[in-house]
Amino acid sequence: MNSQRSSDVLVVGAGIAGLSHAIAAVERGLSVTIIDRDARAVGASIRNFGHACVTAQTGELAELAQVAREKWLRYGSLAGYLHVESGALAIARTAAESAVLDELARSRESGQVRLLTTAEVRRHLGEASDPAIRGGALLRDDLRVDPRQAVGALAAWLAEQPGVAFWWRTSYLGASDGVVRTTRGDFRAERTIVCVGHDLDLLHPELAEQYQVERCALQMARVEAPEGLVLGPAVLTGTSMLRYPAFAETDAAAALRVEMAARHPELVDIAANVMFTQRPDGTLIVGDSHRYGVTQDPFLAESTSATLLDEIAKILGVTGLHVLERWQGVYASSARQPFLIAAAEPGVTAAIVTSGVGMTISLGLAERTFAGF
Ligand SMILES: Cc1cc2nc3c(=O)[nH]c(=O)nc-3n(C[C@H](O)[C@H](O)[C@H](O)COP(=O)(O)OP(=O)(O)OC[C@H]3O[C@@H](n4cnc5c(N)ncnc54)[C@H](O)[C@@H]3O)c2cc1C
């Protein structure tokens, strides 16, 4: 923290969205103050899988994801967080899932979605993995970062740049006419960019209502990996194919949707996206379920965790998984649009990812925000 109270840009929120905007300001030679209500970022940006889900996006999300991909790599080297050009592994366990992967592979330039044999999938997941696995696909452009490391490392790198100041444990109260009101007094900035994720509804409720922003709560866990498992890519399943647009927009997805409802109502009930990634210490981040609402119950249903853990144990071919940690993550969600860049007040812009792809697109979204100034 330093004494800077006046800057070209003030960013509210030090999650991946706020840091992405601070980086975009620094790249333009602007001075920037970043405030966050906590002593360090502990929101959605450290609670996720660290999966930059680039290949399975379409349209403008795909464009933002490709811009973000380049920046994850560039700043990974500068800031020193784990970043792996691993791609992602989508596994198929039914004919309907294979049909989605086949159709996606056919629609992409060669090599972007590479179909895999059962043996190739087992090379990633181990020989004991689910006998139902009939193949898969490697999604070339996906990246993996360690979420618990990346955001802190980016903040530390930014703090060393000239013209950058962080004010932690400092809450934003509102802004007008270039004056930003906080719990530590007033700041001045030409532009204020509000990147508070799902807390938009607390700070600019009229904007949250206009864009139909609500909260999505997800149940997650960190588990011990089966012995010897070394995973490069994030692992996605049939449930992921019903979520990410490039899969979900295939013709073949319709049959998969029907099949999933008939064969796995327990996964459909919790709106599961069964997937996992490996942390640098070897443990697995596993999840996740989705619950939508303006206000979220704080209670985590054990049956939801059990459903997810059973499914992942089955994929890995083990009888059970030893849970080390459980947590709830919350992100902003809107049925209307996957992100918003909107004026909250004159000189105040809210930049919020309103879908579960903030790690995938935020570094690209910041470019879009600045292009609009
Ligand atoms: C469990 C889970 C798994 C996910 N997996 C993935 C994934 O693998 N890939 C992917 O692309 N995306 C994933 N996402 C989505 C992604 O994590 C989010 O979209 C992204 O982290 C949102 O970033 P953010 O900076 O907007 O929010 P946050 O990280 O929540 O940051 C918001 C910051 O604003 C601060 N703040 C709030 N109010 C104030 C205030 N009044 N004053 C000052 N500061 C304030 C908070 O302290 C916080 O640090 C996942 C999300 C969850 C929850």
Q: What pLDDT sits at residue 149?
A: 96
Of all atoms in ligand 1, which is nearest to the CA of residue 18?
25
How far is CA 163 from each of CA 80, 183, 282, 326, rounded to the nearest angstrom?
Answer: 21, 22, 38, 38
Q: pLDDT-derived band of residue 110, with 50, 70 and 90 as boundaries? A: confident
pLDDT score of 45:
98
The DSSP annotation for 211-250 comes to: TTEEEEEEEEEEEPPPTT----SEEE-HHHHTTSHHHHTS
Distance CA 203, CA 176 (A): 13
Question: CA-to-CA distance for 23 and 42, rounded, in angstroms?
Answer: 19
C-alpha to C-alpha distance for 236 and 215, rounded to whole angstroms: 23
Residue 108: predicted pLDDT: 96
Tell me phi and psi for residue 29, to 5 degrees: 75, 20
Instruction: Provide the pLDDT for residue 2.
Output: 59
The per-residue pLDDT for range 272-318, each reduced to its tens digit, is: 999 999 999 999 999 999 999 999 999 999 999 999 999 999 999 99
CA nearest neighbour of 145 among 210, 252, 250, 48: 48
Range 3-20 average pLDDT: 95
56/39 Cα distance (integer angstroms): 34
pLDDT of residue 237: 98
Place of tokens 């809450």: 171
Q: Where are the beta strands (DSSP E) in the chain?
A: 6-12, 32-35, 51-52, 83-84, 88-92, 113-116, 135-139, 143-145, 164-167, 172-176, 179-182, 185-194, 213-223, 234-236, 275-278, 284-287, 291-293, 323-334, 339-345, 348-353
Per-chain mean pLDDT for the chain: 97
What integer is the mean pLDDT of 322-334? Answer: 98
Q: How far apart are the CA of 285 and the centre of ligand 1, in A?
A: 17
pTM for the predicted model, two decimal places: 0.97
Q: Is the C-alpha dihedral spanning 40, 43, 44, 49 positive or negative?
A: positive
Which residue among 10, 19, 23, 48 is best mutated to probe the pocket of ligand 1, counting the most ligand atoms within 8 A of its Cβ?
48
pLDDT band for position 163 (cuts 50, 70, 90) = very high
pLDDT of residue 265: 98
Averaged pLDDT for residues 88-97: 98
CA-nearest residue, atom 4 of ligand 1: 48
Which whole number is the average pLDDT over 42-48?
98
pLDDT above 60 for 1: no
In three-state secondary structure terms, 88 is strand
Rounded mean pLDDT, 12-29: 98
Q: How far is Cα 364 from Cα 311, in angstroms, rounded to an integer?
A: 33
Average pLDDT in the 93-116 region?
A: 96
Identify which of 149, 184, 142, 154 has the alpha carbon closest to the alpha carbon of residue 35. 184
Give the residue with greater pLDDT, 109 vs 284.
284
Q: Is the pLDDT of residue 146 over 90?
A: yes
User: What is the pLDDT, as a whole number, of residue 4?
Assistant: 79
Which of 145, 193, 196, 361 is the pocket-test mutation for ligand 1 (most atoms within 8 Å of CB)?
A: 196
Ligand 1: residue whose CA is nearest its atom 33:
13
Query: Cα–Cα distance between 71 and 58 in angstroms, integer?
Result: 19
Residues in contact with ligand 1 by the CB-under-6-Å rule are 12-18, 35-38, 41, 43-45, 47-49, 51, 53, 171-172, 195-197, 199, 203, 218, 220, 287-288, 329-331, 353, 356-360
**pLDDT confidence band for 37 (50 / 70 / 90):** very high
